[in-house]
Amino acid sequence: MKFQKGDPRPSNSGRKKGSTNKATAEIKDMIRNALDLAGGEECLLSQAKENPTAFLSLIGKIIPKDLNVGGQEGNPVRISKIESVGFDESTNSDT
């Protein structure tokens, strides 16, 4: 039977909740590939040091806006602000 305007949607219609559309999946794959070609983690670390504002903006976009990291029931700990506080190259033991 063909769907008629005004009829309720069948329960199994449409894309499943949380599924990614094809274009978004393809763009994410392209970004991952570009990051791999640019140097992966080393590239990200370099950007964190050279362009901290842009790097932290990227981090802010991928971390969930409302992240429950502990706390008590009904009173979770929430991250409300991430800020750059500078990076002293002389205190970094990795270099």
- What was the pLDDT predicted at 89? 63
16-63 pLDDT tens trace: 877 778 898 899 899 999 999 999 999 999 999 999 999 888 888 887
> How far apart, in Å, are the Cα atoms of 8 and each of 11, 30, 37?
9, 38, 48
| pTM of structure | 0.48
* More confident call, 29 vs 9: 29
Q: Calculate mean pLDDT across residues 76-81.
A: 69
Coil vs helix vs strand at 41? helix
Residue 88 has pLDDT above 70, yes or no: no
For residue 95, name the pLDDT band (cuts at 50, 70, 90).
very low
3-state helix, strand, coil in the chain (%, to 5): 45, 5, 55
- What was the pLDDT predicted at 56? 87
Partnered with residue 71 across adjacent β-strands are 76
* More confident call, 9 vs 88: 9
* More confident call, 37 vs 2: 37
Partnered with residue 76 across adjacent β-strands are 71
